[in-house]
Structure 1
């Protein structure tokens, strides 16, 4: 029988954060699908409606947390998948920093777009 291997240290912070972000993402994704696919059908979603929703501080905060959480979850997952494939040494450090920079840029651009879709500023 094959031995189980994971780059996550069980009960380590990255392991725990990966699970917490997964639970949060499932909940917010369910909210997203309910609101934008069942309450408002795709043909009814407009820029004006998006601006109205994003102008609500609760909705804005939820969507911004969705962005940050999904980015962390994805970057952390890719990084650990690469470690599981045997990435080590200088390449591991380089990949880590490329993913960190990509994650920060994604969050910055997502925040710019989210703020642009509000009437808050």
Structure 2
């Protein structure tokens, strides 16, 4: 049963500027694993932006606003086949469990200008 749906779109250029202006923001938004993966390319802004969109989409699917869970508590990973997947930690994991979420479906897409994420909580 679908318990929540979330979608988010991020302007990659704008997100890149935020990353450049605020040095420490990456470590507040992303896990070490996410940062390691994203920094394997010359310009990680697209990969980071789509992960940020996914985190916002998860919050929407859970029905919570900013500040209810930390961004680092929502981690975008890849399953063995390379598909994007989610791992929730801390308060985010507890909230998902409390609302009955047992499975996540996630779709990510990005270009040099737009990053979007679509999430379904079941």
TM-score (norm 2): 0.27
- Determine which structure has more spread, i.e. the larger CA radius of gyration: 1
Higher-strand-fraction structure: 2
TM-score (norm 1): 0.27
Higher-helix-fraction structure: 1
